[in-house]
C-alpha cells in the first residue's frame, strides 16, 4: 500500500513542488501517493503551508504528522484542532540563502559601501573601514539560521557574538543567554542581526531601552520577523543617530504599506521579504526524510515545541 500524502498549500505551489517531492520520495525509496485532494481519513502525512485553505485538522485522524513548508510556525502553532505532531521546515537551501543575504548586508554596512554607491558627487574623502576582526557583530537567535550566519561571519574574521534564550555553545562564537545576557550582548553589537522566531516572548525584543544599550551609530539588520522590533522606537533611534541605519526584510504588515515611515526614511533600507525562501528541491528532501523516519518508527526531525511556539 502506498503512503498517502496530502499537499496542502496554495494552488500555485503545486507545479513547483509536485516534481520535486516525487523525485525526493523516489530517492528515499518511498512508495507515495501524492495529491492535492485525498479523503481526510486516508491521509498519512500532510505537507503544509499555513496560508492554505486547510485550517481544521479534526478530520485527519489517521495523519501521523504535519510537515510545514515554512520555517516559521507562528501562524499555525496555536491552532487547537492541530493535535498531530508538527515539524517545522529546516531547509538547507533556505539556510544558505539567508546566510548569503545577511553576509552581504553585514559587509555592506561594515565597509560603508552606501557612501560610494549612492554618493557620486565628486567628494574625494578617503574613509578607510576597520578590518573585520575590529568590528563586533551580534546575532540574536542561534537556531539553524543564526548559527550558520554566525559561523560564516566568524570565518570572515568578524568578532561575532550570539544570543539565545537558553544556553548554546557554538565554537568560536561568544555566546550569551537569558535576559541579562541579552543586555550584555547588545552593549557590544556594532552590527546587530535579528534571527529570532516570532513568539509572544520575542515581540518587541528590540525596544527603546535595548536600542539605547547598543553602541551609538550601530546598524540593525532584521531578516527574522517583523514583530521583533518596536517600529516607533527604531524610528526614534534612527532620527537621533543612536542607530546609523536599519536594513529590514520583514515587517508586521506585509507588503509594507505605502505610507509607512520606513519607505521614506533616509536611514532605512526596505527589502521585500527576500532574504530566505524555502527551496523546493532541498525542502522536498527534508520532507521525504521525515516521512521515511515516520514509517520506520524513528523520531521526526525538527518537531515543534508548542509550549515555546517554535
Distances 75 to 71, 82, 138, 274 between C-alpha atoms, Å: 11, 12, 27, 19
Task: Assess whether 260 carries a catalytic annotation.
Answer: no
Total-model pTM: 0.91
- Report the side by side order of strands in the sheet with 45-48: 32-35, 3-8, 45-48, 65-68, 86-87
pLDDT tens per residue, the chain (310 residues)? 899 999 999 999 999 999 999 999 999 999 999 999 999 999 999 999 999 999 999 999 999 999 999 999 999 999 999 999 999 999 999 999 999 999 999 999 999 999 888 888 888 988 899 999 999 999 999 999 999 999 999 999 999 999 999 999 999 999 999 999 999 999 999 999 999 999 999 999 999 999 999 999 999 999 999 999 999 999 999 999 999 999 999 999 999 999 999 999 999 999 999 999 899 999 999 999 999 999 999 999 999 998 888 9
- Catalytic position from the list 105, 165, 225, 267: 225
What pLDDT does residue 109 have? 98
CB 139 within 8 A of CB 163: yes
* Neighbour tally for 299: CB within 10 Å: 9
Distances 310 to 87, 115, 199 between C-alpha atoms, Å: 9, 39, 8
- Catalytic position from the list 62, 260, 273, 292: 273
Task: Assess whether 62 carries a catalytic annotation.
Answer: no
CB 132 within 8 A of CB 142: no
Domains of the chain: 3-91+278-296 (3.40.50.720), 93-270 (3.40.50.720)
What pLDDT does residue 121 have? 82
Instruction: Look at residue 97 and give its three-state secondary structure.
Output: helix
- Pairing outcome for strands 3-8 and 45-48: parallel
List residues bridging with 48 in a β-sheet: 8, 68
Amino acid at each position: 500500500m502506498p503512503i498517502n500524502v496530502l499537499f496542502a498549500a496554495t494552488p500555485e505551489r503545486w507545479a513547483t513542488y509536485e516534481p520535486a517531492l516525487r523525485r525526493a520520495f523516489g530517492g528515499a525509496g518511498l512508495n507515495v501517493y501524492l495529491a492535492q485532494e485525498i479523503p481526510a481519513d486516508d491521509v498519512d502525512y500532510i505537507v503544509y503551508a499555513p496560508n492554505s485553505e486547510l485550517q481544521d485538522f479534526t478530520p485527519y485522524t489517521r495523519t501521523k504528522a504535519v510537515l510545514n513548508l515554512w520555517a516559521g510556525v507562528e501562524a499555525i502553532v496555536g491552532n487547537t484542532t492541530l493535535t498531530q505532531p508538527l515539524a517545522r521546515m529546516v531547509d538547507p537551501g533556505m539556510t544558505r540563502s539567508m546566510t548569503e543575504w545577511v553576509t552581504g548586508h553585514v559587509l555592506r554596512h561594515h565597509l560603508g559601501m552606501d557612501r560610494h554607491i549612492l554618493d557620486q558627487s565628486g567628494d574625494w574623502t578617503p574613509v578607510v573601514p576597520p578590518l573585520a576582526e575590529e568590528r563586533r557583530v551580534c546575532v540574536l537567535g542561534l537556531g539553524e539560521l543564526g548559527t550558520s550566519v554566525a559561523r560564516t561571519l566568524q570565518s570572515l574574521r568578524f568578532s561575532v557574538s550570539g544570543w539565545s534564550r537558553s544556553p548554546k555553545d557554538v565554537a568560536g562564537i561568544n555566546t550569551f543567554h537569558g535576559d541579562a545576557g541579552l543586555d550584555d550582548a547588545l552593549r557590544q553589537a556594532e552590527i546587530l542581526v535579528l534571527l529570532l522566531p516570532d513568539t509572544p516572548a520575542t515581540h518587541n525584543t528590540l525596544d527603546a531601552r535595548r536600542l539605547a544599550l547598543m553602541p551609538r551609530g550601530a546598524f540593525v539588520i532584521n531578516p527574522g520577523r517583523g514583530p521583533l522590533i518596536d517600529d516607533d522606537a527604531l524610528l526614534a533611534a534612527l532620527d537621533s543617530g543612536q542607530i546609523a541605519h536599519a536594513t529590514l526584510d520583514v515587517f508586521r504588515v506585509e507588503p509594507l504599506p505605502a505610507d509607512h515611515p520606513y519607505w521614506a526614511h533616509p536611514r532605512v533600507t526596505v527589502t521585500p521579504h527576500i532574504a530566505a525562501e524555502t527551496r523546493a528541491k532541498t525542502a522536498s528532501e527534508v520532507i521525504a526524510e521525515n516521512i521515511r523516519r515516520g514509517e520506520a518508527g524513528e523520531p521526526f526531525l525538527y518537531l515543534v515545541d508548542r509550549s515555546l511556539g517554535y
